[in-house]
Amino acid sequence: GIQVEQSPPDLILQEGANSTLRCNFSDSVNNLQWFHQNPWGQLINLFYIPSGTKQNGRLSATTVATERYSLLYISSSQTTDSGVYFCAVPSSYNTDKLIFGTGTRLQVFP
């Protein structure tokens, strides 16, 4: 089955710093989502981005489907950005069943 790898596994930043999180996947996909799991455990949708680039405030994401990776950019990080960031892709092409990466744990300190 499809493999999803995220890097780095852990990231520690000071407030105001920028960061890039990476998601690699082993097969063609037509769906990719980025989520933020906050310290209370809630999964928050960040981006639905099968291809191309999207921006939402300080966050942006780029998926290059032909090269099987996606990047999540966080600029001017804030303490509220802390938590775990997951990417998820379909378990096979054109299915709704998601396979999650193991996540990047981000800690932002004041």
* Contact residues for another protein, defined by CB under 8 A: 30-31, 33, 35, 41-43, 45, 48, 86, 88, 90-91, 94-98, 100-103
Whose Cβ is closer to another protein: residue 7's or residue 75's? 7
> Closest separation between CB of residue 87 and another protein, Å?
10
Residue 65 buriedness (CB in 10 A; 0-12 / 13-18 / 19+): middle
> Which residues are CB-contacts of 32 (< 8 A; sequence separation ≥ 6)?
23, 25, 48, 49, 50, 63, 65, 70, 87, 88, 89
State which residue, 60 or 91, has the beta carbon closest to another protein.
91
If the CB atoms of residues 34 and 77 are measured against another protein, the closer one turns out to be 34
Q: For residues 11 and 84, which CB has a smaller minimum distance to another protein in the complex?
A: 84
* Nearest approach, Cβ of residue 18 and another protein (Å): 26
Q: Coil, helix or strand for 65?
A: helix
Q: Which burial class, exposed, middle or buried, applies to 98 when counting CB atoms under 10 A from its CB (0-12, 13-18, 19+)?
A: middle
Q: How far is the CB of 56 from another protein (least distance, A)?
A: 13
